[in-house]
């Protein structure tokens, strides 16, 4: 072997030692639609073990190391499994209806890991305020929440019952905005055209349509999921939603609720989702959530709420029977 070949081999060895990427290593490239915009289409899930607010036990820790996250995830799953199907456990921990044991893990998908963003596991969906807590709620918000809770105790007519129980809107703001992970049915299908981005929500088969470069109607026109208009800021889809119906308040929010969402394709298997919630009549200040939507295998199956919502007949019939027995 001549001197020149030795130099070449030496140079190659130095490059390898320096950790330069191999020439044949696949590099992810942003998929784009025919009009050049990032392609957000597909089926996604936001199921995660990361709680909305940071637990007191993790105060001051916005992220965890992989070892810490693994321990947290293991403990969370083990605790839930011990209470799986319990008839007297709390709603979420028992994975079912407290007092009835109506569900178990067969019917839900809580996810198995904490949300990972920028390579690290997050301890709360709330990223602003930095303490991972939803800002204090105003008196107006508390009053609206109290009024909403009172509907659970009214049985005079079907219209008295909560919107989600009547299968009119999704439970727990899974449809959004903001689109939150709940106990189950955390799947979404996105289809886009140059003029619109459609999000099919598994829960209650809600459909959100974000109109690109649209304008909001007058304030007196209200929608249960709000009115969403969108624009592209670089490779990020920004959705601006207003015109919410008071019947579908999120955590006591009013018709003044304003939500800004950002959808950014992070890699082949995830979309980074960020939502900022602003309603000065409900929260002391605006706040922001952030977490990934990860690719999942489809299809999104039909959601038959209460198998045709025949359960509402039993609820109302039981109330009438109870009134008769008291006479």
Q: What pTM does this model have? A: 0.85
Residue 139 reports pLDDT greater than 80: yes
Q: In this structure, what CATH number is given to the domain that contains residue 234?
A: 2.40.128.20
Specify if 56 maps to a domain: no
| Whole-number pLDDT of residue 250 | 84
Specify if 94 maps to a domain: no
pLDDT digits (tens, 9 = 90+) for 272-299: 999 999 999 999 999 999 999 999 998 9
Specify if 156 maps to a domain: yes
**What is the torsion angle, in degrees rounded to the nearest 10, for the CA atoms of residue 100, residue 104, residue 110 and residue 113?**
130
pLDDT digits (tens, 9 = 90+) for 13-61: 333 334 444 444 479 999 999 999 999 999 999 999 999 999 999 999 9
Residue 127 reports pLDDT greater than 50: yes
| Whole-number pLDDT of residue 311 | 78
Residue 305 reports pLDDT greater than 80: no
* Contact yes or no for 312/216 (Cβ under 8 A): no
Mean pLDDT of 85-112: 58
Residue 227 reports pLDDT greater than 70: yes
Beta strands 116-117 and 236-242 are unpaired
- 121: which residues sit within 8 A by CB, 6+ positions away? 50, 63, 64, 65, 66, 68, 69, 113, 114, 115
Specify if 102 maps to a domain: no
Specify if 17 maps to a domain: no
Give the range of the structural domain holding residue 240, as residue numbers without chain letter: 42-48+125-326
* Contact yes or no for 98/90 (Cβ under 8 A): yes
Specify if 261 maps to a domain: yes
| Whole-number pLDDT of residue 314 | 85
Count of domains forming the chain: 1
The DSSP symbol for 258 reads: E
| Whole-number pLDDT of residue 169 | 82
| Whole-number pLDDT of residue 100 | 54
Share of the chain above pLDDT 90, in %: 55
Specify if 71 maps to a domain: no
| Whole-number pLDDT of residue 257 | 95
| Whole-number pLDDT of residue 246 | 83
Specify if 74 maps to a domain: no
pLDDT digits (tens, 9 = 90+) for 160-170: 888 878 888 87
């Amino acid at each position: 072997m001549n001197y020149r070949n030795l130099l070449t081999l030496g140079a190659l060895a130095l490059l390898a030692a320096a950790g330069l990427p191999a020439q044949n290593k696949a590099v992810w490239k942003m998929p784009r639609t025919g009009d050049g915009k990032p392609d957000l289409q597909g089926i996604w899930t936001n199921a995660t073990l990361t709680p909305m607010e940071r637990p007191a036990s993790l105060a001051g820790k916005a992220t965890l190391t992989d070892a810490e996250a693994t321990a947290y995830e293991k403990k969370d799953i083990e605790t839930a499994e011990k209470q799986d199907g319990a008839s007297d456990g709390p709603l979420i921990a028992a994975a079912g209806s407290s007092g009835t044991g109506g569900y178990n893990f067969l019917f839900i998908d809580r996810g198995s890991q904490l949300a990972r963003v920028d390579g690290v596991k997050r301890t709360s969906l709330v990223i602003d305020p930095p303490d991972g807590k939803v800002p204090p709620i105003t008196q107006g918000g508390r009053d609206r929440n109290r009024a909403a809770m009172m509907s659970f105790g009214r049985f005079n007519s079907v219209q008295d019952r909560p919107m989600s129980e009547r299968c009119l809107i999704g439970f727990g703001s899974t449809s959004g905005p903001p689109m939150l992970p709940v106990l189950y049915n955390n799947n979404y299908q996105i289809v886009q055209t140059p003029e619109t981005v459609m999000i099919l929500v598994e829960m209650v088969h809600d459909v959100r349509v974000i109109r690109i470069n649209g304008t909001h109607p007058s304030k007196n026109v209200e929608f249960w999921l709000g009115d969403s208009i969108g624009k592209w800021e670089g490779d990020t889809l920004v959705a601006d939603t207003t015109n919410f119906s008071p019947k579908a308040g999120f955590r006591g929010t009013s018709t003044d609720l304003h939500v800004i969402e950002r959808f950014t394709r992070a890699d082949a298997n995830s979309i980074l989702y960020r939502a900022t919630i602003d309603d000065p009549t409900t929260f002391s200040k605006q706040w922001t959530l952030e977490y990934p939507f990860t690719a999942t295998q489809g299809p999104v199956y039909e959601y038959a709420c209460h198998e045709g919502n025949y359960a509402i007949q039993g609820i109302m019939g039981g109330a009438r029977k109870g009134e008769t027995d008291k006479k």
